């Protein structure tokens, strides 16, 4: 019985042995260097987030079908995709990476987004200095799917802003 238990314990170890050197894809099935696979067929969408202080806001005219709403802000923070997409200019080229703090960013008219107002009572309206959060999605091409020598900013598509939230900061 002890011999049988020892044999059972040895079986899993034999299955964990390394694969022989030719195992893997069959001959002729390797992908040539620089070509895209089926993982590159669909667009990869990533989060795009920018926050800052309000400079100006133009509300949408509900009488027209197109969106005329615009929001302009001074950037205080942005996520990695917003910084690397090239939509916000680098504010300090000497420092490593993209420095976005202090840049002016505008959510353009025509981009249908939902505008949320927080903390406004009665006839109070957004004013310069209020806190703004911009949230959306942006298409990103994977590095292996982009042509050789494509810059990081060129791998990003157009921003699709979904929501803009403005929070009241001034005392009422």
Residue 96 lies in a domain: yes
Residue 5 lies in a domain: no
Residue 38 lies in a domain: no
Residue 62 lies in a domain: yes
161 within 8 A of 134, measured Cβ to Cβ: yes
Q: What is the pLDDT at residue 123?
A: 84
Residue 20 lies in a domain: no
Per residue in 126-142, pLDDT (tens digit) is: 889 999 999 999 999 98
Query: Along the chain (172 residues), what's the average pLDDT of each consecutive run of 10 residues?
Result: 59 54 55 63 89 91 83 94 89 87 89 85 88 94 87 90 90 64
Q: How many CB atoms lie within 10 A of CB 101?
A: 13
Report the C-alpha gap between 171 and 154 in whole angstroms: 43
Q: What is the pLDDT at residue 80?
A: 92
The domain in which residue 57 lies consists of 47-167
Total count of domains within the chain? 1
Residue 119 lies in a domain: yes
DSSP per-residue codes, the chain: -HHHHHHHHHHHHHHTPPPPTT-SSPTT-PPPTT---GGGSSPEEEEEEEEEEEEEEE---TTSSS---EEEEEEEEE-HHHHHTSSS--S-TTSSS---TT-EEEE-TTS--EEEEES--TT----TT-EEEEEEEEEE--TTTSPTT--TGGGEEEEEEEEEEEE--S--
Report the C-alpha gap between 50 and 78 in whole angstroms: 4
Residue 34 lies in a domain: no
Record the tokens describing residue 84, joined without a space: 């690397």
Residue 137 lies in a domain: yes
Q: What is the pLDDT at residue 13?
A: 52
């Amino acid at each position: 019985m002890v011999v049988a238990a020892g044999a059972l314990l040895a079986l899993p170890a034999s299955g964990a042995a390394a694969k022989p050197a030719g195992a893997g894809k069959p001959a002729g099935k390797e992908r040539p260097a620089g070509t895209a696979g089926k993982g590159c067929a669909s667009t990869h969408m990533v989060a795009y987030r920018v926050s800052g202080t309000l400079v100006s806001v133009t509300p949408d005219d509900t009488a027209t079908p197109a969106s005329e709403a615009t929001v302009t802000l001074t950037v205080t923070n942005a996520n990695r995709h917003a910084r690397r997409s090239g939509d916000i200019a680098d504010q300090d080229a000497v420092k490593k990476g993209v420095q976005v703090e202090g840049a002016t960013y505008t959510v353009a008219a025509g981009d249908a987004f939902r505008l949320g107002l927080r903390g406004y009572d009665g006839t109070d309206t957004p004013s310069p200095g209020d806190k703004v959060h911009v949230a959306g999605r942006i298409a990103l091409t994977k590095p292996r799917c982009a042509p050789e020598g494509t810059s990081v900013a060129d791998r990003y598509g157009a921003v699709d802003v979904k929501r803009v939230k403005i929070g009241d900061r001034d005392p009422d």
